[in-house]
């Protein structure tokens, strides 16, 4: 007598579910390691910030009537904090006089498949890079990042951009 086909399918589903969870954990560890390596490289050679900022080519927000003085005040405000809303600032640096680079992390719960194979809320982290660009010719601040990979990433980038563009720069 052989193994019932339902039992084989159940075993295959369990293996697939466990494999997916392990894969997701490995990808998260690689992301964290890559971001850490990039931050270390930026600390050793701040000129690399220009290369990173150059890859951020999608605009996510804009603020009108924003002078160079406002930009300097915003940079000072950012340097004085380690969090903006739900975002933790992992690294920040000047790219040049009109551009500022931020590397951030956001922890969030996502409805996903857990280790048991059942749908559940899973704690995740996402890393986002932002370039804040002052445009003196038209007195604007713009927030740039890279293309989002899914709707969660899109909403996270838009939310961060909104917070930055309404942030008070002080008197």
Cα within 13 Å of Cα(160), Cβ side: 29
pLDDT (mean) for 150-168: 91
21-30, 39-48, 139-148 — most confident range? 139-148
The tens digit of pLDDT for each residue in 119-140 reads 778 788 999 999 999 998 999 9
Task: Reduce the DSSP state of residue 115 to 3 states and report it.
Answer: coil
Average pLDDT score, the chain: 86
Q: Give domain limits for the chain.
A: 5-166
Which tens digits make up the pLDDT trace of 64-107?
999 999 999 999 999 999 999 899 999 999 999 999 999 999 99
The structure tokens listed for 134 are: 């002052």
Is the pLDDT higher at 160 or at 26?
Answer: 160
Q: Using pLDDT thresholds of 50, 70 and 90, give the confidence band for residue 20.
A: low
Q: Which of 80, 64, 130, 140 is nearest to 100 (CA)?
A: 130
- The 8-class DSSP code of residue 123 comes to E
HEC assignment per residue over 26-76 = HHHHHHHHHHHHHHHHHHHCCCHHHHHHHCCCEEEEEECCCCHHHHHHHHH
**Over pLDDT 70: what percentage of the chain?**
86
pTM of the model: 0.79
Q: Output the CA torsion 111→155→42→74 (10° steps).
A: -130
If one compares 21 and 144, the residue with the highest pLDDT of the two is: 144
């Amino acid at each position: 007598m052989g193994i019932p086909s339902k039992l084989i399918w159940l075993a295959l589903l369990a293996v697939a579910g466990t494999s997916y969870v392990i894969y997701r954990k490995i990808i998260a560890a690689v992301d964290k390691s890559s971001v850490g390596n990039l931050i270390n490289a930026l600390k050793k050679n701040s000129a690399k910030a220009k290369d990173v900022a150059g890859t951020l080519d999608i605009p996510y927000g804009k603020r009108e009537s924003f002078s160079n003085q406002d930009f300097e005040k915003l940079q000072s405000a950012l340097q004085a904090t380690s969090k903006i809303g739900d975002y933790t600032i992992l690294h920040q640096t000047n790219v040049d006089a009109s551009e500022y680079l931020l590397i951030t992390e956001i922890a969030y719960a996502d409805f996903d498949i857990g280790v048991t194979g059942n749908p559940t809320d899973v704690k995740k982290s996402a890393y986002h890079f932002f370039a804040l660009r002052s445009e003196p010719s038209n007195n604007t601040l713009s927030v740039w990042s890279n293309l989002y990979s899914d709707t969660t990433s899109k909403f996270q980038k838009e939310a961060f951009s909104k917070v930055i563009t309404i942030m008070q720069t002080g008197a």
